[in-house]
Amino acid sequence: MTIPISGARVLLTGASGGIGDAIARELHGRGATVVVSGRRAELLDALREELGPRIECAPADLAKAKEVDGLVAAAGAVDVLVANAGLPASGPYDGFTVDEIDRALMVNLRAPIQLTRALAPAMVGRGKGQLVYISSISGKIATSGASLYSATKFGLRGYAFGVGRDLTGSGVGASCVFPGFISDAGMFADTGLETPPGIGTSKPEEVVAAVVKAIERGPSEIDVAPAFVRASAKLSGIAPNLVAGISTRLGGEKFAGEFGKRQQDKQ
């Protein structure tokens, strides 16, 4: 259940900045035709002008159901879906408006589900394809100040694994990538914060490499984080309160509060 990147047609959401831009460049450089999607059409156009052929622009706001449908039509017959778009949804459980909750659920969870429903059957009909979902370590470790974000990312993890089981034997695979804090690009980098002691960061290139691995080799899950964070993610599955306690002692609650404040304008 893998597919060569060269010659593949890829739909990449969340391509108008941060890690999405890096993923688009790598896949294009490896010979794929990349349909880049995001809310900021001008950045997508700039990417197409810079990279030239094999970049197609399909602007869409995934918080709007009609635009998700329009994106499916614009993407056409894709071989690979990389569902990378996401909102930070950071803050305490009672710190969101109804619209902010709905928007986070739409972008982080509903859109990948709807895109899969619309695109995967044709992949199955052709007997090949790969679905790649960008979740987060917060989809394995729930902390204070990130309940809504974790809900969407835990949900995406469950969906990716279930879809993978549904597709067993079809020639189409499903992989989920779990980045931790990423330096230089993306949500965390935008805040200008430093991680709590001992946590550390990974580079955007590591996320890009995980996406390439997901497409070419098809593992069900790939963690992109320093060793301590990866170990914590595994431990959280059997002892979540223990991991939460360790996070608190490392200053995780204070960090989460400041992170949420700095992401408030991106909800």
Q: Count CB atoms within 10 A of the CB of residue 66.
A: 9
Q: Distance between CA 179 and CA 200 in Å, rounded?
A: 12
Q: Which listed residue (93, 133, 149, 159) is catalytic?
A: 149
Q: Count CB atoms within 10 A of the CB of residue 214.
A: 26
Q: Distance between CA 16 and CA 41 in Å, rounded?
A: 8
Q: Distance between CA 15 and CA 8 in Å, rounded?
A: 17
Q: Distance between CA 47 and CA 157 in Å, rounded?
A: 30
Cα 53 from chain centroid? 25
Q: Which residue has the tokens 């059997």?
A: 238
Q: Is 133 considered catalytic here?
A: no
Structure tokens belonging to residue 153: 């990312």
* Of the candidates 59, 62, 145, 140, the residue with the CA atom closest to the CA atom of residue 104: 62
* Of the candidates 215, 164, 224, the residue with the CA atom closest to the CA atom of residue 32: 215
* Partners of residue 222 on adjacent β-strands: 177
Q: In what order do the strands lie in the sheet with 33-36?
A: 55-57, 33-36, 9-12, 80-83, 129-134, 172-179, 221-224
Distances, alpha carbon 121 to alpha carbons 4, 101, 113, 116, 172, in Å:
19, 30, 13, 8, 9
**Identity of residue 86:** G
Active site residues: 149
